[in-house]
Structure 1
Amino acid sequence: MTRRDREHQAARRLTERHGDEMPKRLAEKFDDYAMGPLDGLIACGDAVRRIREPDQYGVFPPTNDQDVDDGLLLLVRARWSFAVDQVAIIEQARANGRTWEEIADLMGVPVSRAKNLLTQLRKQAMPLS
């Protein structure tokens, strides 16, 4: 089984156990549906945080070791996916005519940081093996 297959299975399990209503419905309707890696990681993080704050209404399933392992499986792909999205947004802003000053202001960072961030993100967004 490839790493990508393992990641998909992890996302699928997290969708079924900890997904919101819409991803769960889609998973019920389509056998192979799973949340994307970033959504899966967020769902896992939410579930893990609930360990410290028990679900007083009994709505959420308890977090188990498999949930944590699934989160670990998705961690790198989710970071990569987030970097790809950030690059796309910044590059589209530039294509739309936004200046670096405007982009930096919208991001809440200095201009040099915005430019450096794009360079760093491009490196992180290199295809995963």
Structure 2
Amino acid sequence: MTTAAPSARALAHPAREEIRLEGVLHALSDPLRMLIVCELAAAQVGVTCSHFDLPVTKSTSTHHFRVLREAGVIQQNYRGTAKLNGLRRDDLDALFPGLLDSVLDAAARQEARLGA
């Protein structure tokens, strides 16, 4: 039996069992990556990279999305020429119950406190 070659546009994602807490926490430690995660949580559906208005260059933005994807925080899939991004909420909730909700709540409280 032959298997199809992976698409050149397929992006590598860690399997659920490969996601590590320290990787997730590192990915969430950057303010821009946290902003991306908060927006994805609010959207509750996949959104394109161009949806985000980040105050950085495209290459830096790509880096932040890659860190989140490689840590297992987000899923990225191509739809045509656009990359759709979504939270891996089911995986994160299964591995680290309550972590994502706690982090999102803390981020919202910090934003309210600092008036960001």
Tell me the TM-score normalized by structure 1: 0.25
Larger strand fraction of residues: 2
Higher relative contact order (CA 8 A, sep 6+): 2
Which protein shows a greater Rg? 1
